[in-house]
Amino acid sequence: MNTPVEQFLDYVTLERGLSGNTRSAYEDDLTALHRFMEKRSVRQFNDLERKDVLEFLMAERERGLSVNSVSRRLVAIRVFFRYLQQESLLDRNVVEIMDSPKLAKILPGVLTSREVERLLDAPDLKEPRGVRDRTILELLYATGLRVSEAAALAVGDIQFDSDYLRCFGKGSKARVVPFGRQAKDFLTRYIDQVRPGFLRDDDAEGQLFLTRLGRGFTRQGLWRLVKGYAQSAGISKNVTPHTLRHSFASHMLANGAPLRIIQEILGHADIATTQVYTHVDEGRLRASHSQFHPRA
């Protein structure tokens, strides 16, 4: 009996009348997906999760495919999955709400979950500096903050009783951003046990992250810190603080978070037409973050 892919290819050729070139393109796209599944020991399309599809597309991008080609891969998968649903061969369509244009924007510069773990494990927690640096990395990944926002954080911006922080984004717009248990644990350890040892100057008393000289971190300093640990972790990609922001958004999306929630957390200006930050429901943000973020 023909495989589901072969049945689908016959369907688009014979019943929908698509050209031979289109059939070949679909075959190429779905063959690439099948190879990826074999490497992951995923036996059936019903076993695919949305994060698997996203990681497949990211892997194709890293392999050298253009954004347009990666988007075409997603289109083929979406058409194929709709066919499987139509034939009662698929229990749930995990790619139905994945948006090609949005996805194409976040594909460049994204770490896999395993690469994030390697990066976070790079600092030496036996040293005060390592605890501080692990806290910085955890917070960047947990919140998707811009590097300038992270550098400007004050100790008073962290609200431990409700697990969120306040920051100022572009245009000096304030917003609240939830963080998860892992980031909270390291923030508590850093502020209570490590940060006092970095204090050198009363002028820096309010700033959250301090250098060995007791000064607040600059954007450039945080950029160098992230780059250094990425190199130590053996990650060959060009990793910057913005890479962690992209990874945060991608992983939240892959784990089912609504796109609007992600936009609100990131502070994108286009998430609503007017007064976006005044409409943020802090409880809803925290609940969604806890549900969908891998380290919450």
Number of C-alpha atoms within 13 angstroms, CB side, residue 134? 25
Task: Tell me what pLDDT residue 71 has.
Answer: 81
Task: Tell me what pLDDT residue 286 has.
Answer: 64
Over the stretch 80-117, which tens digit does the pLDDT of each residue have?
A: 998 898 888 888 888 876 655 455 444 446 788 899 99
Which range of residues forms the domain containing residue 13?
4-106
Domain boundary (56, 80, 106) is at: 106
Domain boundary (106, 135, 161) is at: 106
Domain boundary (106, 130, 152) is at: 106
- Do residue 11 and residue 70 come from a single domain? yes
* Cβ-contact 280, 176 below 8 angstroms: yes
Q: Active-site residue among 23, 72, 237, 268?
A: 268
Question: Whole-angstrom Cα distance, residue 146 to residue 170?
Answer: 9
Task: Tell me what pLDDT residue 133 has.
Answer: 98
Is 245 among the residues known to form the active site?
yes
- Do residue 287 and residue 146 come from a single domain? yes
Task: Tell me what pLDDT residue 279 has.
Answer: 32
* Cβ-contact 141, 163 below 8 angstroms: no
Q: Active-site residue among 146, 251, 286, 293?
A: 146
Q: Active-site residue among 50, 245, 246, 293?
A: 245
- Do residue 13 and residue 123 come from a single domain? no
- Do residue 90 and residue 137 come from a single domain? no
Task: Tell me what pLDDT residue 272 has.
Answer: 35
- Do residue 126 and residue 99 come from a single domain? no
DSSP state of 112: -
Strand order across the 174-178 sheet: 158-159, 164-168, 174-178
Task: Tell me what pLDDT residue 277 has.
Answer: 24
Q: Is 32 left (phi over 0), alpha (psi -120 to 50) or beta?
A: alpha
Q: Which residues of the chain have pLDDT under 50?
A: 1, 101, 104-108, 271-281, 283
